[in-house]
Structure 1
Amino acid sequence: MNISLPQNDSNPVQRQTALVAARRDYRYNYTYLPNGGAMAEKVPPQDQSLGKFPWLQDALSLLLRIDANQALQDVNETGSVRKLRRFAWLTRVTRFLNNPKRAGFLKFLLAKVLPIIRLVQRLQDGKPPSIEQNSSQTPSAKVNDIHQPLLETLISEVKDPRDHAQEQQKLDHQALAMQAKQAQDSLSDYSQLFQAYNDLFQIIYLPCISQQFWTDRAFVAQRVAGANPLVLEQCKRLPDHFPVTNDQYQAVMGTADSLQKAGAEGRLYITDYAVLNLLEPGTFPDAQKYVYAPLALFAVPAEGSGSLTAVAIQCQQQPGSDNPIFTPPPEGSPQSEQWAWLMAKTIVQIADGNYHELISHLGRTHLLIEPIVVATYRQLAPNHPLSALLRPHFEGTLFINNAAISGLVNDGGTVDSVMSGTIESSKELSVKAVQGFPYGFNDSMLPATLSRRGVDNVDQLPDYPYRDDALLVWNAIHDWVESYLDLYYLSDQDVVEDTELQAWLAEMVAQDGGRMTEIGETASDQEQPSLRTKAYLADMVTLIIFTGSAQHAAVNFSQSTYMTYIPNLPLAGYRPAPKSTKATTQDYFNLLPSLKQAETQMDMTYLLGSLYYTLLGEYGEEHFTDTRVQPLLKAFQQQLDAIGIIIDERNSVRPTFYDFLHPNKIPQSINI
């Protein structure tokens, strides 16, 4: 193998011994999701990251959800059983506190949860709560601010965490329905209708989206800067099954514009959720859920800020009298039309949430990266240059995937509970994403996907923060990867002759391995794809690192901002799509989840979207033993710092705020 290694790693016998050891240590058994998608059954201790702390799940439940939106596990237990469980909790926390190596992580955790602990202490003292509405405004905590007696109080003395929210917990769909009937039939008097949802936020802050989710501006902003800014496509001509008329278009955009003109000028955009028709409607526990596959039309005005305007929504794919086209009601329209329009937007949000969780999040980040992680451990020796580069970007991925499959995406689990489809059909949709929907691996390079969706032209679509920030990070990662690989691969032939590299790809595509498709380079004289050029290798590694860091950050951490507040983005609807362009308050309410469902969704999306661990570009001072790497790494870190400044400047002037791709909010890997 003709690559230049650090001197202390250049012995080929040593390399072969290390490779054999790696294959032995990481010999996984695979379990397969329906129709494909490799999942590692065993998670090695070396890769468990957050999972290496056995107390983590209990500690997070204790510290992040005291008072709780979700009760502690011993809510219904009494006597000695409860005392035993609380003693176990205390033991785990004490073990953590006594380990000085974890002090840094403790400081980070306490900065997030100390306000919660202080609030509980005040409640125990009979004092009124005093807490900032937004926890991000609370000063950082010091490790010494928490002490053993307080922990003992939290675990052994705190009242049942559901006690003071008992009345709220008793509210069910029927009680809320009565409340909705009492509310005025007006969108401007929404507060009474949504107060019960707001009251779920007893500890964590009420998201800003709660104050504007019903507005058209908030709705369109989430297409370009929300939890799932990945579906929007340019539309030169509307599909035949979405028959928006020019009159309907001009009623929104004005008579100086037209559908034909906007399409010709590249100002029409569409979101199409047809793929969700693959889901089978689920139930919870006995309430019927519904699956929607809407289409939504947007346009950029010929003059103005360049932000999208919502034009029309069709709640299912096939048009007809029972599937009308909804348009924004003009000012002064009857309230019944405003409620119907809000229902149509909510159905798009429900569809977007299911697409987000099953495709953009689980399928296109977590599951897409997993077979690459396994192949790296099995086929690249620890001292292989590419292995050294990639392993920090895989830290915790197998652990969190394993936890998700056993605790979220399982029969009767959270996904089964809160999302639209049955758990079987939800898994199958995620597998479809792994296998190449909407794009195969080679077509998923960020510049290519933006071009294929027709959203790469800044002049036609000026307000697209995800695109603009993602390209900055993509280019920085590509520069770093390309310069790093140049140290070890002097020509394309070096790539071809690297036997470990070829075995790495072969493991990914093998039917008894990762079963990945549309990856690698093809040649007429080869049956299987291979790695043939430095340029492709650089693109491939860039996509791997970008997906495990920035792309996951974009779709994961946006959950706490947009998906904890259920009226903004519920993950399931509980009535059929409306068949009329007029609706009542009760019709809208019947669409939304019950409080129990809202509570479960809030718990899941807040926890997943709030815990940051590691930082992109921070590999550790002694990670790379080759001294030639250090100046290249320093340049990458400086480039990330510069990107942070650019994003801050953009957010001071651009019409849609977006900071999920700020480098100081991008972890190294998928670890939550």
Structure 2
Amino acid sequence: MSDNKIEELQSLLNVPDPNATPASSDAQTRFLFGSAQCHKGTGVLADILNALPPGGLGGNEKAASPYPPVSLPQYDFNTSAQRAYALSKARKENTFEYLKLPGAVVHGNIQCEDVANANEWRYRGGLDEQEYNFNVNDADTNFAGVRLFEGTVAYLEKHFWSIVLSPDIAAKFINLLTVVYSELADGRPERITFEIMDPILLTFPHRKCNTVDELDFYPTFCTDHPKYEERIKQWPKAPYDGDFRFDDLIGWLVTAAPTPVFNYFKPYTQHMSKFPITNNHFRRVQGFESDNLDQAMAEGRLFILDFADFHDETVAARNFDNFGARLHAGICLFAIPANGTGLKTIAIQPTQTPQPGGFWNDIGWFFLGMFGYGDQKHPPSKIITAGDNYWAWQMAKNCITTMTSMAGVIDHLSTHVYLGPIPVAYFRNITEYHPLRPLLDTHLMALVTNNHIGIFEEVGTSGLPNGEGYEYTYGNPYNGLLTGAIQRLSGFSSTTFVNATLRRKNHYHFFEHSTPIDRMADPVLAQLDEYPQHDDNGLAPIINEWVDGYLRLYYHSDQDVKDDTELQGFLYETTHYGNVRGFPDHADTLDELIDIVSRIIYWMSVNHAFGSMVSFMKLSALGVYRDHPIDPHFGYSERDWLNICPPMNVGAGLFMFSRIFTDLPDDWHRSLGKYPKGQFKHDPNVYPLLDVFQQQLQALDDEIREKNSRRRWAYDLRMPSTITVSPWN
């Protein structure tokens, strides 16, 4: 090893001499990196990556013993003693904790056996069991998961000149590789994914991107990449990647929402003093020059996206660890043209506070444009329309889409926190001898562990005495994998983010938010030609039919439900100890039980889905990098728009980090309808019911794919093949 680390890495990478002739440098670059527009995966950096042992997101699974024959507790005459012991043990080891995250209930013993066993995909018996599982084998030993570090190398290769030739990049990149190899040396390859963010922030240049292409962090593998087919499907681009400037896209994003519980989009039925939209604004937009605002409202043709729910949080104390990002709780108006059906984006007010008119207010606006918002608690903004300055309008759209993206992240984590007490009560009361365990275990997989890692700072030591790896304890709830990342990568502080998550968690109701909306029953919503968030959701009856058939194998009367002490304990504790809003504390009939269990599965899968919008840096970074108001008539340029987008290092860090949460590594990989091999080996009567369940899901998936083939932009949030079976991500 050379003493000069910079020269060492330059030699390793064959970095061109900045003083060399252009032809010489170009030749060297082509030799090392191939086409400047494509990551071939065959250069020196790729060799470093490929030398790492397999390990990545979603690649772990373990074998487990088959379930014992299951029965209701009142009919268990063979294993009642073992069952009683298991129940006693579970109630001691699984505890509700109320103080670690004030305002929420979390599992009090992350180290316990039940949590550990539920942390990974576990197949039971051999791999030749009866589950068809859509021909996707989640126990394939050749599948190592999505290797997120590969995306970092791909981007580095693609933008070689603007990154590698920066003065201190060599020393920075050595630090990045040091982090990767230190995790391997510690025997924790899975942590490479989790701990790569800060090294990326330090390695990539902290400067604004100079082109749209530099905001594109997706790997662009060439077809001669040695594993092209395997890799390219793990990095799918947003379906609207080439249309991100198209105005109608914003309307699409709120009707094809990034999370299933997203509900900030409403009909606009009365004027709001905080949003002084006028006919003058309305008629600036192409297609509405002769329309009338009040008439359109009376006809139910206006809709509003209002992030007032986040107003106090977006104007909270600035987060100075976030490279200067802001988030605005904006307002966006949409309209359907007269005699039309498509949703058009009309006007955006980036904040909740309008800029009043008048001489002195105009003077104040002038100084805001010069000196910025500073620490104003309620920064004002003007309404900007699609008919105003082009780049002002593009900047205003980013103000809305970044908040849309953050609201999706908050919705996602808040469902995790809302659902978190359910597995605590479940493990405490439902033994492995109960028929609910084979049905629900997979749907609860990894929820406790992922909640813990996402929220709490990891405190502990590696290399436990038993040699089983890393010990997790409860650290700072504002510095976990997700809560800590928000501090660095968004316009929220981690405290603001956690507080928003806890507030949003309290919004949910177990029955209300697991009941699909029939939007065609609402004459206003029925006007929209498409509303994919609702139109594609055919999952509730399919899940209900599967649960109905399964539970009737074991429950033969309403009395069986009433006498099931384990079930009743589970329901009671979830409600009264877990504080899960709207969850029933008992069940008296089999129909009630079928409905409850169906909704548990719906919450853990359908209501946990998450779109990849947060990975789309051209629109959806978790913050706007602008401290000044946007004037609808100022002569902005594309450079001004690029300046509100994230710096290169922040964009790269957010993109790579967000892939942990947004994508399955393959269609039908641990998706809704999938169960590990051998999950129902103990009872062959289940398999005919499972076959029907999977066939119905496949048919719905095919139907949505056919719809998507006719749409301008595909929507996959309601496709069974891309919905995780549990909150494992």
Q: What TM-score results when the alignment is normalised by the length of structure 2?
A: 0.67
Q: Which amino acid aligns with 2:583?
A: I
Q: Deviations for 1:201-257, whole angstroms, at most 9, x for unmatched residues?
A: 576676554422122122222112252462322233343432322443344353664
Out of 636, 650, 665, which is 2:693 matched to? 636
Q: 1:462 aligns with which of 529, 538, 545?
A: 529
2:511 counterpart (400, 423, 442): 442
Are the structure 2 counterparts of residues 371 and 260 from structure 1 closer, same or farther at C-alpha, using a change threshold of 3 Å? same
SS at match of 1:608: helix
Establish whether residue 623 from structure 1 lines up as the match of residue 679 from structure 2: yes
Whether the 8 Å contact between 1:376 and 1:387 is mirrored in structure 2 is no
Q: Which amino acid aligns with 1:380?
A: I
Match of 1:194 in 2: 212
Judge conservation of contact 1:222–1:228 (CA < 8 Å) in 2: no
Superposed displacement of residue 343, structure 1 = 1.4
State the alpha-carbon separation in 1 of the partners of residues 171 and 683 from structure 2.
49
Q: Tell me what 2:393 maps to.
A: 341
Deviation at 1:263? 3.5
The match for 1:369 is: 419
In the aligned structure 2, how far is the partner of 1:82 from the partner of 1:30?
35
Superposition pairs of residues 169-208 of structure 1, within 5 angstroms: 169-170=204-205, 172-173=207-208, 176=209, 193-198=211-216, 201=219, 207=238
The residue aligned with 1:399 is 449
Counterpart of 2:362 in structure 1 is none
Distance 1:629 1:92 in 2: 38
Note the 1:484-495 alignment, pairs <5 A.
484-495=550-561
Deviates more, 1:412-421 or 1:206-215: 206-215
CA contact (8 A) 1:313 1:326 kept: yes
Partner of 1:653: 710
Q: Distance in 2 between matches of 1:563 and 1:72?
A: 30
The residue correspondences of 1:295-306 to structure 2 (distance < 5 A) are 295-304=331-340, 306=341
Matches within 5 A, 1:322-337: 322-329=380-387, 337=389
* Among 532, 551, 557, the residue aligned to 2:607: 551
Q: 1:478 to 1:269 in 2, by over 3 A?
A: farther
Shift of 1:600: 1.2
- Alignment partner for residue 47 of structure 1, among 118, 133, 140? 118
Contact kept? 2:664, 2:724, Cα under 8 Å: no
**For residues 592 and 82 of structure 1, do their structure 2 counterparts lie closer, same or farther at Cα, with a shift above 3 Å needed?**
closer
**1:602 paired residue number:** 655
C-alpha spacing 1:373/1:646, structure 2 compared with 1 (3 Å): same
What are the within-5 Å matches in structure 2 for residues 516-535 of structure 1? 516-520=580-584, 529-535=585-591
Aligned residue number for residue 267 of structure 1: 301
Q: Whole-Å Cα distance in 2 between the matches of residues 87 and 445 of structure 1?
A: 42
Residue by residue over 1:346-389, the C-alpha shift from the partner in whole angstroms, topping out at 9 and shown as x without a partner, is 1111111111111x21102x222221112111111222222332
The structure 2 residue matched to 1:507, chosen from 554, 560, 573, is 573
Distance in 1 of aligned mates of 2:270 and 2:78 = 59
Per the alignment, residue 90 of structure 2 pairs with: 22
Aligned 8 A contact 1:22 1:378 in 2: yes
Q: After TM superposition, give the deviation of residue 293 of structure 1 in Å.
A: 1.0
Identify the residue that residue 213 of structure 1 maps to in structure 2: 244
For residue 649 of structure 2, give the secondary structure of its aligned residue in structure 1: helix
Q: Tell me the equivalent position of 1:104.
A: none
Deviation at residue 170 of structure 1 after TM alignment:
3.3
What amino acid is the match of 1:46?
N
Are positions 1:285 and 2:335 aligned together? no
Residues 1:73 and 1:580: Cα distance change in structure 2 (over 3 Å): same
Cα gap change, 1:650 to 1:73, in 2 (>3 Å):
farther
- 1:594-637 Cα shifts (integer Å, max 9, x gaps): 22211111111223323444132222454233444332222211
Amino acid of the structure 2 residue aligned with 1:310: T
Distance change >3 Å, CA 397–CA 579, structure 1 → 2: same
Displacement of 1:397 = 1.9
CA shift in 2, pair 1:442/1:403, >3 Å: same
Cross-structure match for 1:582: 633
Task: Quickly say closer, same or farther: Cα 1:281–1:441, change in 2 above 3 A.
Answer: farther
Where does residue 619 of structure 2 map in the other structure?
Answer: 568
C-alpha distance 494-301 of structure 1, shift in aligned 2 (>3 A): farther
C-alpha change, 1:207 and 1:632, in structure 2 (3 Å) is closer
Q: CA deviation at 1:428?
A: 1.0
Q: Is the 8 A contact 2:151 2:656 kept in 1?
A: no
Displacement of 1:51: 11
| AA partner of residue 347 (structure 2) | A
What is the match of residue 185 of structure 2? 88
2:172 and 2:269 map into 1 onto residues whose CA distance is: 57
- Secondary structure of 2:650 counterpart: helix
**Which residue in the other structure is 1:314 paired with?**
349
Contact 2:269–2:297 (Cα < 8 Å) also in 1 = yes
Asked if 1:417 is matched to 2:453, the reply is no
Task: Label 1:169 to 1:63 Cα distance change in 2 as closer, same or farther (>3 A).
Answer: closer
Aligned alpha-carbon RMSD (Å): 4.1
Contact kept? 2:615, 2:655, Cα under 8 Å? yes
Distance in 1 between residues matched to 2:524 and 2:688, nearest whole Å: 34
What amino acid maps onto 2:710 in structure 1? V
The amino acid of 1:272's aligned partner reads: D
Judge conservation of contact 1:31–1:39 (CA < 8 Å) in 2: no
Letter in 2 for 1:469: D
User: Using the alignment, how far apart are the partners of 2:91 and 2:687 within structure 1?
Assistant: 29
Query: 1:491: how far off?
Result: 4.7
Q: Report how far residue 390 of structure 1 moved.
A: 1.1
User: Is 1:5–1:488's contact at 8 Å kept on the other side of the alignment?
Assistant: no
Letter in 2 for 1:398: V
Return the offset for 1:75. 4.5
Contact 2:239–2:714 (Cα < 8 Å) also in 1: no
Assess, with a 3 A threshold, how the Cα gap between structure 1 residues 478 and 466 changes in structure 2: closer, same or farther.
Answer: same
Of the three residues 434, 439, 442, the one matched with 1:384 is 434
Unmatched tracts of structure 1, length 5 or more: 96-112, 114-160, 180-192, 521-528
Given the alignment, which residue of 525, 547, 558 partners 1:481?
Answer: 547
Kept after mapping to 1: 8 A contact 2:259/2:607 = no
Find the residue that maps to 1:170 and give its secondary structure.
coil
- Alpha-carbon distance in 1 for matches of 2:116, 2:515: 33
Which one has the bigger helix percentage?
1
The SS at the match of 1:310 is strand
Pick one of 568, 593, 596 that aligns with 1:537.
593
Is 1:432–2:450 an aligned residue pair? no
Contact 1:617 1:636 survives alignment (8 Å): yes
The aligned amino acid for 1:388 is: P
Whole-angstrom CA distance in 2 between matches of 1:266 and 1:621: 51
* SS of residue paired to 1:667: coil
Over 3 Å counting, the alpha-carbon distance change for 1:57 and 1:424 in structure 2 is: farther
8 Å Cα contact 1:566/1:602 also seen in 2:
yes
Matched letter for residue 422 of structure 1: S
TM-score (normalised: structure 1):
0.72
- In structure 1, distance between residues paired with 2:544 and 2:386: 42
> Could you say what secondary structure the match of 1:650 adopts?
helix
CA drift at 1:572: 1.0
User: Counterparts of 2:330 and 2:454 in 1: how far apart (Å)?
Assistant: 28
